[in-house]
Chain A
Amino acid sequence: MTQGTDADTATDRATALAPALDTDALLDDPGIRIVVCCGSGGVGKTTTAAALGVRAAERGRKVVVLTIDPARRLAQSMGIDSLDNIPRRVSGIDGESAGELHAMMLDMKRTFDEIVEAHADGERARAILENPFYQSLSAGFAGTQEYMAMEKLGQLRARNAWDLIIVDTPPSRSALDFLDAPKRLGSFLDGRFIKLLMAPAKMGGRAGMKFLNVGMSMMTGTLGKLLGGQFLRDVQTFVAAMDTMFGGFRTRADATYKLLQAPGTAFLVVATPERDALREAAYFVERLAAEEMPLAGLVLNRVHGSDAARLSAELALAAAENLDGVGIVDQTAGKAGLRDPADWSVVSPEAVADPDPSEHEDTEDREPDPEPAPEVATRTETVTEDASVEQLTAGLLRLHAERMQVVAREQRTRDRFTALHPEVAVTQVAALPGDVHDLAGLRAIGHRLATGSTPAGAA
């Protein structure tokens, strides 16, 4: 792989190989009805989804953003800090031809409850909602959030009230969970064991099922002992109550899955230029391909760049060391170190020869003093100013060297991804110094997404 000084070559290669992802074209395409943002935890999925939502709305589309677990201040900035499971219109969307932005935060338990209420009559629905297994499953099953996110997506799409749905995916232990969970819950609820639990009697008459039946009673006996008799009775009640809904779950899970494969859907894999995040992104890209789901490209968040990229880390560090030594050099050599006499002439040799610049740090504060000072004082100030400029400049150079090391490291990480998946279009979002929690910030991110705002020096 490329190392250190090869970074420039690597940059050229990556630029040549990875096509640019045009997010505006994606958001403007009326054929695109669903954009799914996925990726591992902590890479900025929610912020990306929200920023795309703001941008799409301001470019004229009627958008709803479905977020799963937004940071509080981000949610507040969009006016969705109440967990009511209903899309709310976001105010403050600007632009001459602006559309609308709506946003909602998923409440997985309520979504589950709503499905039960919609598909079972009053008596049965109540039996399900009160069952301890239902309560446990609806609030805590590792895949429930993923399943309900997909369920909600299906519902929003079915309402057909928006022309673009942007969905954030749950903060799963693995980015792949959100594809697997709906199927897992579906096959679980549809599973062999549940069928056995529900209807052992049905199989009694069939010779081939005799063994199963024996196994069954042994098993329920064992599980009953292990978990307590009530456990199995509750399970059986739950399963019996859910019976009528199994078909529905299965059908909707399949429908949502097909929706995700449809041409109107686009997946954006979100990552940061770090090893783990890009490894997850690579898995995800492979998985989407295997599932025949349409990948639009990779959003690379928090990419560092530098407008001073022509100054390498090595040169910056060497220059910083030169400056550290300047005081000493000049003490002995006077003006020998000067290379820019025109600008330099204001400083006297005595000034350069200050033995310990740090002692004068306090006088620094007086620098803006507009009063004409006596001759001696002026000279002292010049000394101080100049000495700390050396320190300051050395500091700037070291900071720059660190930045360039980060840029090079991110580039190497990205190169590895591009080498594996040269076909994946990429847009980069330059790192911001702080968190984003207002529409203006989201707008800025949206702009960076659109321009691919390739930070200088980072491809």
Chain B
Amino acid sequence: MSRFQVVSGKGGTGKTTVAAALALALATEGRRTLLVEVEGRQGIAQLFETESLPYEERKIAVAPGGGEVYALAIDAERALLDYLQMFYKLGSAGRALKKLGAIDFATTIAPGVRDVLLTGKACEAVRRKDKQNRYVYDYVIMDAPPTGRITRFLNVNDEVAGLARIGPIHTQAQAVMRVLKSPETAVHLVTLLEEMPVQETADGIAELRAAELPVGRVIVNMVRPHLLDEDALRTAAGGRRKEIARALTRAGVTGSAGLVRPLVEQAAEHAQRVELEREQREVLAGLELPGHELPLIGEGMDPAGLYDLATELRKQGVGDGVGEGVGQGVDT
């Protein structure tokens, strides 16, 4: 699998959850992963039920087999100050700039500059090595902006090209772009088995491809269990109510007569949903991308649920050794 995993998806599909589960799943066998967020929402902290993340890489979870998950909330202003410090040793002058609103200004007026600072920080973590020349993080997973904005967000070069034509920001944009367009990166899209998110996923993939950004996998989230097979459902809709009433009575349910209609109606709704889900699965299959399916965690997401999802991802082959995986063929 690519070392830089970017996770996007329509709002409400659970992309933060999937990114976190992926970070856990990839942190097996002593590996270390970094989970980054870029939208200042503190979604990671909420998910892991810890206090707000600072602008600092901090260990937030351990995975089975001694793996570690670090997390970082990237802040564009702080990232810009970092750069100023790195390139110009600004020190207190940097703080003065901030006070004047210059940093806010520079990161606000040019969204491309803001984005290049955010992606640049993540790319730096992807490439960072320790003294033994080993990568500090085996994988960096980004909880990225939603599908509608992901291509613009990642396509920083185009965004910045017209603004900063020379200088370190320009150079930085080009360096970031090289990482983002390489097989080192994979952009995954999270969806639900519903029409709108699936449509948006298809549109998002087309945009990413047009921008020559590497599309990774489609991850279907919150998949609900199928409790009845469809043939049985058709039968249920087909007028066996008296028999069902009798069976209910035999099973010890009192007043079964009044229950048959709602039970059969619920089954019919279920059948309709199953049918809609089947249609959406077909649309997704038409995208010809590798994918995963994650179950709905009924009781709402908490750290235990995250571990369950990570286990599920591992079962589906995520984290089986570095540099290989179902998605490899299309990552480039």
Considering only residues 285-332 of chain A, those with a C-beta below 8 Å from chain B are: 306-308, 310-311, 315-316, 318-320, 322-323, 326
A391–B236 Cα gap in the complex (Å)?
11
Residues of chain A contacted by B264 (CB below 8 angstroms)? 396
**Known contacts A227-B164, A389-B244, A399-B266: A188-B276 contact under CB 8 Å:** no
Chain A: minimal CB distance from B320 (Å):
31
Q: Determine whether the beta carbon of B250 is less than 8 Å from that of A396.
A: no
**Known contacts A41-B12, A219-B100, A338-B250: A135-B112 contact under CB 8 Å:** no
A97–B245 Cα gap in the complex (Å)?
46
Residues of chain A contacted by B194 (CB below 8 angstroms)? 435
Residues of chain A contacted by B273 (CB below 8 angstroms)? 433-434
Considering only residues 134-156 of chain B, those with a C-beta below 8 Å from chain A are: 145-146, 148, 152
Chain A: minimal CB distance from B118 (Å):
11
- Which partner residue on chain B sits nearest A173 by CB separation? B39
B64-72, B90-98, B204-212: which one contacts chain A? B90-98
- Which partner residue on chain B sits nearest A319 by CB separation? B251
A22-30, A191-199, A202-210, A445-453: which one contacts chain B? A191-199
Q: Determine whether the beta carbon of A136 is less than 8 Å from that of B100.
A: no
Considering only residues 14-73 of chain A, those with a C-beta below 8 Å from chain B are: 40-43, 69, 71-73
The majority secondary structure among interface residues of chain A is: helix
Residues of chain A contacted by B165 (CB below 8 angstroms)? 228, 230-231
Neighbour of B251 across the interface among A69, A191, A326, CB < 8 A:
A326
Among B253, B270, B273, B298, the most chain A Cβ lie within 10 Å of the Cβ of B253
A340 at the interface (CB under 8 A from B): yes
A311–B248 Cα gap in the complex (Å)?
11
Chain A, interface residues (CB within 8 Å), range:
35 or more
Q: Determine whether the beta carbon of A340 is less than 8 Å from that of B100.
A: no
Residues of chain A contacted by B250 (CB below 8 angstroms)? 322-323, 326, 337-340
What 0/1 pattern do residues 348 to 390 of A give for CB contact below 8 A with B? Answer: 0000000000000000100000000000000000000110111
B188 at the interface (CB under 8 A from A): no
A184–B107 Cα gap in the complex (Å)?
13
A81-89, A111-119, A250-258, A403-411: which one contacts chain B? A403-411
A399–B230 Cα gap in the complex (Å)?
13
Residues of chain A contacted by B227 (CB below 8 angstroms)? 395, 398-399, 402
Chain B interface residue count, CB cutoff 8 Å, equals 86
- Which partner residue on chain A sits nearest B171 by CB separation? A228
Residues of chain A contacted by B101 (CB below 8 angstroms)? 191-193
Neighbour of B146 across the interface among A140, A171, A215, A400, CB < 8 A:
A171
Q: Determine whether the beta carbon of B41 is less than 8 Å from that of A227.
A: no
Considering only residues 230-258 of chain B, those with a C-beta below 8 Å from chain A are: 231-232, 235-236, 240, 242-253, 255, 258
- Which partner residue on chain B sits nearest A389 by CB separation? B243
Residues of chain B contacted by A72 (CB below 8 angstroms)? 199
Neighbour of A188 across the interface among B41, B104, B235, CB < 8 A:
B104
Enumerate 22 A-B pairs (CB-CB under 8 Å) in ascending A order: A42-B13, A133-B110, A140-B112, A173-B39, A212-B100, A218-B93, A222-B97, A225-B87, A226-B87, A228-B166, A275-B301, A308-B258, A315-B253, A319-B248, A343-B242, A344-B246, A389-B247, A396-B228, A402-B225, A413-B300, A434-B195, A434-B273
11 new A-B contacts, CB < 8 A, other than A310-B255, A339-B250, are A40-B12, A171-B146, A274-B300, A308-B263, A308-B266, A319-B253, A322-B252, A323-B251, A343-B245, A395-B267, A409-B298
Give the top 10 A-B pairs by smallest Cβ distance, nearest first: A42-B12, A41-B11, A307-B262, A228-B167, A393-B247, A308-B262, A319-B251, A140-B111, A228-B166, A193-B101
Interface residue ranges, B against A (CB under 8 Å): 10-13, 39-41, 83-84, 87-88, 90, 93, 96-97, 100-102, 104-106, 108-114, 145-146, 148, 152, 159, 162-170, 194-197, 199, 225, 227-228, 231-232, 235-236, 240, 242-253, 255, 258-259, 261-267, 269-270, 272-273, 276, 298-301
